Amino acid sequence: MSLHSTQTLAYDVERIRQDFPILGVRPHGKPLAYLDNAATTQKPRCVLDAMTHYYTHLHSNVHRGVHYLSEQATAAYEHARDIVASFIGARRREEIIFTRGTTESINLVAASWGGAFLRPGDEILLTVFEHHSNIVPWQLVAQRTGAQLRVVPIEQDGSFSVDRALEAITERTRIVALAHVSNVLGIVVPVAPIIEHAHRVGAVVLLDGAQAVAHLDVDVAELDCDFYAFSSHKVYGPTGIGVLYGKAEFLERMPPYHGGGDMIRRVTFERTTYNDLPYKFEAGTPPIAEAVGLGRALEYVDSIGRAAIAAWEEHLVASCIEQLVQIDGVRLLGPERGRAAVVAFSVEGVHPHDIATFLDREGIAIRAGHHCAQPLMDFFGIPASSRISVAMYSTEEEIERAATALRKCITVFRL
Amino acid sequence: MELSDELRQLYQEVILDHHRAPRNYGNLEPHTHQAEGYNPLCGDQIELFLRVNDAGIIEDVRFTGQGCAISRASASLMTEALKGKSLAEAHALFERFHRAVTTEPTAPVDADSLGKLVVLLGVREFPTRIKCATLPWHTLEQALAGGGTTTTE
Ligand SMILES: Cc1ncc(COP(=O)(O)O)c(C=O)c1O
């Protein structure tokens, strides 16, 4: 507690805000309160500069030319891989595969690992709060292989019971694929006992870290997960690039996902031998400038400090929940505690779309919709919900503005 | 906190009233036409029922479903406007309404030809919300074309 309060005191959010040029935008003439960070985060100037610098001074194709610029570009791209590896605690750089994002990372594992190793009757274990991108790829591979999906439920109050997940892991479970942080419930899933239990029955574990990497200190070696997926754009980096971490022992045995240039060693029309990790999974010209931007973003996060960011966000989330639960008719989705950065809610008699439009005119950006988690909306019996999500540059004042506008909105619609 | 003019235009009292107390809400048995409309973007969903007599006149029309204030008010106002109309008139009204809400916010419209529906024109200032206003109408077209599910995105 005292640790947190000293950290939040020392946290200079105004200085951090100076690093994000877009925060100066004035929607509808009002100051911007960007509270849709779970959808995507904004970019600090150093990321924009790093990408411009790359295109201005270093750009060429990677791994192909012997000329100066190709060496420069390759070095920049591979340096980004080193930054990612160290940021998430991967032991080996070749365990970091650049993809287009979380979605592609999960599709890669489902198609390549799942396609090669799933058999009829095998079980793929998910939770009810998975994002569509951690559901549909598994449905596709289940159809192809005859494996079955099983779904861990949550409690009526929206909390998650680890015991239920442990019970659902059986001898037939081949993979457990679950969110590290839910993009709706906001819960930080206690993954350690799940991973341990899954390994005991010989199952592998994929964590969808899309909502985790910007808010937690993720260490894949310590977690001992087999795969970890995340998107650059949700951790202050550019769009168009993401990461798949995979233990080398798995990646080595998996067939390629896409075929093309860079992923091969030797091609004849009869037979192709594949390149080593990580290139086996990086067919075609990769998003080089985006990798550079991602690397810079992660360095930026570490320059602020992940513990300090987490403490600040925890403080904002607690304050947000405190204000929301006092509003008549507001129902919080998920538990009040144990959250990272995300607060979703529904309001009796007022549709999330109307709330979002109303707040937008005040310059406040929040999300309204099903958040790509329709099974979870069905569980709660609602078509959609509203979501406030914070980032390192969010302020208490922004949260207060959102709560005030929400109260006003409710009075207009309920009159 | 004062409401902006655009918000006041969008959420006029008539719209809030139809949102809070939608007209012709519920199932209709027996019915001759039925369709479902769905907007996957926001989860809005509507089911529409019509009873059309042998002379091709809409005798009764009702709807159920979940949606935002705009889609609910639009559905409610639509059901009021449709009663007693012929199928050809209903289709013509769909076309007039659709054209009106998808024009530029400043474009002149023939208010008389829309009747009470003019209160919905505020959505023209809110591009992301136009689909909310047109969902019930696309569902109407679907119902008249023989039923099924229509999806707007
Ligand atoms: C939990 C979770 N998984 C996966 C994704 C998909 O990420 P992306 O669209 O960047 O591939 C998201 C983001 O929307 C998410 O919140």
Q: How far apart are CA A203 and CA A221, in angstroms?
A: 17
pLDDT in tens, B115-132: 999 999 999 999 989 999
User: Which long-range contacts (C-beta less than 8 Å, at least 24 apart) are formed by A151-157?
Assistant: A151/A125, A151/A126, A151/A127, A151/A375, A152/A125, A152/A126, A152/A127, A152/A128, A152/A178, A153/A127, A153/A128, A153/A379, A154/A127, A154/A128, A154/A129, A154/A185, A154/A379, A157/A335
Name A2's Cβ contacts closer than 8 Å, sequence gap at least 6.
Answer: none
Instruction: Say what the pLDDT of residue A1 is.
Output: 40
Contact between A331 and A350 (Cβ < 8 Å): no
Instruction: Say what the pLDDT of residue A3 is.
Output: 47
Asked if B42 and A354 come within 8 Å (Cβ–Cβ), the reply is: no
CA A85 to chain CA mean position, Å: 16
Amino acid at B17: D
DSSP one-letter string for A131-194? -GGGTHHHHHHHHHH--EEEEE---TTS---HHHHHHH--TTEEEEEEESB-TTT-BB--HHHH
Q: Is B11 on the interface with A (CB under 8 A)?
A: yes
- Residues 349-368 of chain A with CB under 8 A from chain B are 350-354, 357-358, 361-362, 368
Instruction: Say what the pLDDT of residue A415 is.
Output: 61
pLDDT in tens, A33-71: 999 999 999 999 999 999 999 999 999 999 877 899 999
- In chain A, the residue whose alpha carbon lies closest to the alpha carbon of B44 is A383
Shortest distance between the Cα of A405 and any Cα of chain B, in A, equals: 8
Asked if A358 and B42 come within 8 Å (Cβ–Cβ), the reply is: no
| A88 token code pair | 């998430």
pLDDT above 90 as % of chain A: 91
Contact between A38 and A342 (Cβ < 8 Å): yes
Amino acid at A333: L
Instruction: Say what the pLDDT of residue B1 is.
Output: 63
A372 is catalytic: yes
> Is it the case that residue A8 has pLDDT exceeding 60?
no
Asked if B42 and A368 come within 8 Å (Cβ–Cβ), the reply is: yes
pLDDT in tens, A172-217: 999 999 999 999 999 999 999 999 999 999 999 999 999 999 999 9
Instruction: Choose the closest CB to A358 out of B7, B41, B132.
Output: B7
Contact between A125 and A177 (Cβ < 8 Å): yes
Confidence of residue A14 (pLDDT cuts 50, 70, 90): very high
Q: Is the CB of A131 under 6 A from ligand 1?
A: yes
Asked if B1 and A362 come within 8 Å (Cβ–Cβ), the reply is: yes
Instruction: Choose the closest CB to B4 out of A28, A350, A369.
Output: A28
Partners of A342 in the β-ladder = A389
Which chain B residues contact residue A350 at CB under 8 A? 69
Averaged pLDDT score across all residues of chain A: 95
> Lowest mean pLDDT: which of A234-248, A379-393, B138-152?
B138-152
In the predicted model, what is the mean pLDDT of residues A299-313? 97
Q: Is the CB of A346 under 6 A from ligand 1?
A: no
Q: How far apart are CA A264 and CA A254, in angstroms?
A: 14
Instruction: Say what the pLDDT of residue A359 is.
Output: 97
Instruction: Say what the pLDDT of residue A264 is.
Output: 87
Instruction: Say what the pLDDT of residue B153 is.
Output: 58
Averaged pLDDT score across all residues of chain B: 92
Q: Whose CA is nearest to atom 15 of ligand 1?
A: A210
- Say which DSSP state B1 is in: -
pLDDT in tens, A109-127: 999 999 999 999 999 999 9
Which chain A residues contact residue B132 at CB under 8 A? 353
Query: Relative to the CA of A372, which ligand 1 atom is closest?
Result: 14
Query: Relative to the CA of A231, which ligand 1 atom is closest?
Result: 10
Query: Relative to the CA of A101, which ligand 1 atom is closest?
Result: 11
Contact between A258 and A244 (Cβ < 8 Å): no
CA B21 to chain CA mean position, Å: 15
Instruction: Choose the closest CB to B44 out of A28, A383, A408.
Output: A383
| A122 token code pair | 């095998």
Instruction: Say what the pLDDT of residue B149 is.
Output: 74
In the predicted model, what is the mean pLDDT of residues A142-147? 98
pLDDT in tens, A67-116: 999 999 999 999 999 999 999 999 999 999 999 999 999 999 999 999 99
- Say which DSSP state A326 is in: T
pLDDT in tens, B46-77: 999 999 999 999 999 999 998 999 999 999 99
Which ipTM was obtained for this model?
Answer: 0.88
User: Token match 């020392």: residue?
Assistant: A10
Q: Is the CB of A101 under 6 A from ligand 1?
A: yes
Which chain B residues contact residue A404 at CB under 8 A? 1
Interface test with A, best of B2, B5, B6, B7 (most A CBs within 10 A): B7
- Say which DSSP state A110 is in: I
In the predicted model, what is the mean pLDDT of residues A21-40? 97
Amino acid at A305: G
Instruction: Say what the pLDDT of residue B9 is.
Output: 86
Q: How far apart are CA A386 and CA A353, in angstroms?
A: 8
Confidence of residue A9 (pLDDT cuts 50, 70, 90): low
Cβ atoms within 10 Å, residue A297 = 26
Asked if A28 and B7 come within 8 Å (Cβ–Cβ), the reply is: no
pLDDT in tens, A322-363: 999 999 999 999 999 999 999 999 999 899 999 999 999 999
User: Cα(first)–Cα(last) distance of chain B, in Å?
Assistant: 32
